[in-house]
Amino acid sequence: MQQFGDLFEARLSRDRIRPYVSATDGSVERVVALYEWNLSASAEVLKIIAVVEVVLRNSISSSFESFSRSNSGDGFWLSDSRILPFARQRDAVEHALKKVTAQNREPTLSAVIPELSFGFWRFLLTKRYGAMFWSPVLQYAFPEVRHGAERALFDRVGRLHRLRNRIAHHEPIFGRRLDLDHRDCLLVLGAVCPVTAKWAEGISRIPEVLANTPLLR
């Protein structure tokens, strides 16, 4: 087993497995068990965050599309500088458009939207941007959010964005309150559509994974 432990460390790197060693008694068996559990937990969390991201972006885009049409626009709100006044977001849209056209696809909203990162949508739900567009647009993307509770929504989306990035970089999440992260996912979905939130809760295995968390120190 020690030979496997040396190989495990060599292939994954000492720095990467150090948190797992520190969180256990350092034995190969327990380090590997915790690493494997972290992989399973990451996959399950990423699964429900994927649902959140798709639902979030579709609801936001639909609301801005309606806003654009009602304000003499053509509905392609991503090209409207009144809606996206910041260069960083316009650059992200330009990059997404180039990716779509490079694939010889028509640059429609439905084609461009999936090319925009979670960070793009997360920015639209920051205090800075939300103050500008909550009342005229974003409140309609989240019909279940009561008046004055939008800041809590923004904070939840921010936490999920950071968690997604952590998982995407294969970092440990075993020390987090994943039950609270799970709740954040369901609350964000519920802010758009309670029925969708209920469906997502039904397919989520996060509670099951948490019930089988390996013993730490």
- Gap between the Cα atoms of 61 and 43, Å rounded: 27
Q: What is the DSSP letter of 214?
A: P
Give the chain's mean pLDDT: 93
3-state SS, residue 117: coil
Domain assignment present for residue 134? The answer is yes
Q: Which amino acid is at 156?
A: R
Task: Please compute the mean of the pLDDT values over residues 50-71 and round it to a whole number.
Answer: 95
Quote the pLDDT of residue 216. Answer: 73
Measure the CA–CA gap between 92 and 99, rounded to whole angstroms: 11
Task: Quote the domain boundaries for residue 176.
Answer: 48-73+119-211
- Give 45's pLDDT tier (boundaries 50, 70, 90): very high
- Single pTM value for the model: 0.93
CA distances from 25 to 12, 65, 210 (A): 19, 55, 20
In a domain, 98, yes or no: no
State how far the Cα of 74 lies from the Cα of 59, in Å rounded to an integer: 18
Domain count along the chain = 1
Q: Is residue 110 part of a domain?
A: no
Q: In the numeric block, which tokens belong to residue 205? A: 């295995």
Neighbouring CB atoms inside 10 A of 33's CB total 15
Pair of tokens at residue 31 = 């380090």
Mean pLDDT score, 183-196:
98
Helix, strand, coil percent content, the chain, rounded in steps of 5: 75, 0, 25
Q: Is residue 113 part of a domain?
A: no
Q: Is residue 178 a part of any domain in this protein?
A: yes
| Per-residue confidence band for 74, with pLDDT thresholds at 50, 70 and 90 | confident
Tell me what the mean pLDDT of segment 45-52 comes to.
98
What confidence tens digit (pLDDT) does each residue in 158-174 have?
A: 999 999 999 999 999 99
What pLDDT shows up at residue 1? Answer: 56
Say if 20 falls within a structural domain. Answer: no
Structural domain includes residue 25: no
Least Cα distance to 155 among 184, 132, 182 occurs for 184
Residue 217's pLDDT is 63
- 190 lies in some domain: yes
- Say which residue, 60 or 86, is predicted with more confidence: 60
Q: What is the pLDDT of residues 10-20, one digit of tens each?
A: 888 989 999 99
> What is the biggest distance separating any 2 CA atoms in the chain, rounded to whole angstroms?
69
SS3 94: helix
